[in-house]
């Protein structure tokens, strides 16, 4: 069984999408992360060195998400997962949810987005 670190509601302005105005103006995205990690050591020692820093995870995810203009949310979410695995060896799996609340869809909707789940290769 694995423990979970979660970060919900990370707001990021980025320029992802297939429509030209999305790349020009950009929009707000919301990211939720669930990180599978063994927290048994840090739960005993109370030392940051025995876990991962939430702040560092947010910085890594934000940089990966904003680092390139992607057409698809699937690719943007994949870039976040890839960057987290590169930066944090302790993380065994990651679930990345990307919400695009202002997607250019001709309908009334609450939310749209993607969820990807990746395990360490």
pLDDT (0 to 100) of residue 104: 85
pLDDT (0 to 100) of residue 8: 98
Task: Provide the domain limits for residue 59.
Answer: 3-119
Count of domains forming the chain: 1
Q: Exposed, middle or buried by CB within 10 Å (0-12, 13-18, 19+), for 47?
A: exposed
Consecutive 10-residue runs of the chain (121 residues): their mean pLDDT?
A: 92 90 88 97 96 97 96 96 98 97 88 96 75
**Residue of 85, 35, 48, 90 lying closest to 64 (CA atoms):** 85
* Residue 8 known to be catalytic: no
pLDDT (0 to 100) of residue 1: 53
pLDDT (0 to 100) of residue 58: 98
pLDDT (0 to 100) of residue 63: 98
The CATH number given to whatever domain includes residue 65 is: 3.30.1130.10
**Residue of 116, 100, 120 lying closest to 29 (CA atoms):** 100
pLDDT (0 to 100) of residue 35: 98
């Amino acid at each position: 069984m694995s423990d979970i670190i979660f970060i919900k509601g990370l707001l990021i302005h980025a320029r992802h999408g297939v429509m030209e105005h999305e790349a020009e103006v950009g929009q707000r995205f919301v990211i939720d992360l669930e990180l599978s990690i063994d927290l048994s050591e840090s739960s005993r020692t109370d030392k940051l060195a025995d876990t991962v820093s939430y702040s560092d995870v947010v910085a890594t995810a934000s940089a990966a998400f904003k680092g390139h203009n992607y057409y698809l949310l699937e690719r943007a979410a994949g870039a976040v997962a890839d960057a987290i695995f590169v930066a944090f060896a302790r993380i065994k799996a990651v679930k990345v949810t990307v919400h695009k609340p202002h997607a250019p869809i001709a309908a009334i909707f609450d939310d749209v987005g993607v969820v990807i789940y990746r395990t360490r290769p």
